[in-house]
Amino acid sequence: MSTVKAVLAEAVAELGGTHRPGQEQMAEAVADALEGKRHLLVQAGTGTGKSLAYLVPALLHENRVIIATATLNLQRQLVDRDIPALKAAAASVGDGFAEHAVLKGRANYACLHRVRQGAPDDQGVLLEVPEGSLGKQVVQLRDWAEDQASEGGSGDRDDAPSHVDLAWRQISVSARECLGAAKCEYGQQCFAELARQEANDAHLVVTNHAMLAIDAVEGVPMLPEYDAVIIDEAHELAARVTQASTDELDPGMVERAAARARPHLDADKSSAEQDLSDAAEALADALTHVSPGRIENVESALGGALALVRDSARACFSAFEKDSPESADPARQMARTAVDDVRRIAERMAANQDADVIWLGQGRSSLQLRIAPLDVSASLREKLFETKTVVLTSATLTLGGDFGPVASSLGLDRTGANWTGIDVGSPFDYQKQGILYIAKHLPPPGRDGLEIDQLGEITALIKAAGGRTLGLFSSRRGAERAAEYVRKALPELTVLCQGDAQLPELAQQFADEPSTCLFGTLSLWQGVDLPGDTCTLVIIDRIPFPRPDDPLMSARQKRVDQSGGNGFMQVAAQHAALLMAQGVGRLIRRTDDRGVVAVLDPRLVTARYGPFLISSLPNFWRTTDRNQVIGSLNRLDINREN
């Protein structure tokens, strides 16, 4: 344990930091958990320095440890900043660290076969480089990939020149589209394969929640064998695992698979492609008779169409020309993958198991069937917690002051029989640094979105703050309406709205111009770090309960009710509490930050679930007095101007 403390102290000094309350306590707890093989939940507030606190014991642990994050920003911080500092610190105290590696999904790396041979279109024809700005990006990416190959680079998308998704898809492949290192003539140079080799040789592997979910829960080997896993941003884990296990199917997807298959089928089995195309039409017809929303019973017409798609896709897959050891046709591999994906998803949907939720929604261009697991806790328990030592950490792991809700949602026993939970606190004095203002005088939010009372309140608060406002809204329509209203009412201020430009660009402009306001939805509620005078006021328009027509959340709520629990509190209120805590956490990001969080939903103090939600938030000084808050914001604005 003395080594953990010594390396941690040196690493903090290496990064120019100071001792932070709770950091040493967390490092010791993580070391104990890894050594004792007991699961640990650590709530560590913003500014605690939790990444160093778990990296030190992870790097000193005798066996391989996986670090899984939810965001690329944190992944970059670990690899580019924290781990190098720890290695330097270890060297200064006489200890050495084994190697570390970063491992991402295959589509995050350039594919040299696609770079050099081209990308096939839906019919298997190699595409020429498109014209215009997209074409320029593709050429730049190809040149960059070749430079990476000759210079021993990683081929990682994060290091690539600026580009759009469509350009990147011209030089990358998914895991299922990959030819495989044994067949690919560039297999020895493959960036993804080299990254896997580095991970196999590394003591510490940094990856993301999705890779962890696919490896542990889906059972697809993505990661090298490991002893323990540390999951940062753990409040996101259940959602990321659910996302990784969600599938989509629509007639267009089936039709495209049939078109891709056509050039690659044995001549005497070419009708298989037409059968699959006919199945796409049958599915399209069946969907016209299905109402949007959850499908609790796959009735005969839809069930028959899904079975037809499943069987046609299986027959089409079997009709592909026999493979040969030397064949390496990317168009053929893409076609096989597309057909098999259709078969797999249709088979899952046709089975209509109780463990899944199926619903009909609007896709990009047509109606689309979606299927997701009703609950991921059992899978996490059986395939992760029962086989590995797991450390979960986040600034938001307690709900209503209790670790139990989050623990049980991830598959752990709610009582703490197989885990320990600790809260190492925060370096911030929330009572002195921030105010939680609840606009009790406003009417409860209606179904039609923001009303004139809420818009007037938003304008008055922003005017008092002199801009400097992050507006967190429950819908894109609400954010846009508020932006339009405030722009007219306060023309002297700049009001940015999500959708005006790419989010990183908007966040940078918000940070650079102190009087600017930024309005947006879910992606702004978490992961945006804007310390200092940039953000004096955070506005939350309403408690972020799931939409009543959300098929997955309503199904989970119904299941809890049927088992004798309180579905609203265990699903909807917990969901809202996590998001509220994340949103409120945007305000105080360092010890000299000051400001106000304004919640325009009076239910936070009038409804029976209000105390549960409030107890899940930082302990700000709380008030419902509008004049007091306006005065505080005015004083903050004047002080900053001076």
* Distance separating alpha carbons of residues 286 and 300, to the nearest angstrom: 9
Q: What is the mean pLDDT of the chain?
A: 89
pLDDT at 314 over 70: yes
What pLDDT does residue 194 have? 95
What pLDDT does residue 68 have? 96
146 confidence band (pLDDT: 50, 70, 90): very high
Q: pTM above 0.75?
A: yes
What pLDDT does residue 94 have? 60
Burial (CB < 10 A; 0-12, 13-18, 19+), residue 189, is middle
- Cβ contact 160:168 at 8 Å: yes
Average pLDDT over residues 566-573: 94
pLDDT at 324 over 60: no
What pLDDT does residue 131 have? 64
pLDDT at 250 over 90: yes
370 confidence band (pLDDT: 50, 70, 90): very high
More confident residue, 484 or 123: 484
* Distance separating alpha carbons of residues 53 and 49, to the nearest angstrom: 7
Nearest to 163 by CA among 136, 194, 132: 136
More confident residue, 569 or 178: 569
Average pLDDT over residues 43-54: 90
Tokens (6 digits) for 533:
């005078």
Tokens (6 digits) for 604:
């936070």
pLDDT at 107 over 80: yes
Burial (CB < 10 A; 0-12, 13-18, 19+), residue 419, is buried
* Distance separating alpha carbons of residues 112 and 107, to the nearest angstrom: 12
Segment among 180-189, 450-459, 543-552 with least mean pLDDT: 180-189
6 confidence band (pLDDT: 50, 70, 90): confident
Query: How many other β-carbons are positioned within 10 Å of the β-carbon of residue 270?
Result: 13
Which residues have C-beta within 8 Å of that of residue 210, sequence separation ≥ 6?
105, 240, 243, 244
Per-residue three-class SS string for 68-116:
EECCHHHHHHHHHHHHHHHHHHHHHCCCCCCCEEECCCHHHECCHHHHH
432 confidence band (pLDDT: 50, 70, 90): very high
Tokens (6 digits) for 570:
């265990």
pLDDT at 511 over 60: yes
* Distance separating alpha carbons of residues 145 and 151, to the nearest angstrom: 10
Average pLDDT over residues 513-522: 90
Percent of the chain with pLDDT over 90: 62
* Distance separating alpha carbons of residues 507 and 171, to the nearest angstrom: 29
DSSP 8-class letter at 436:
E
pLDDT at 1 over 60: no
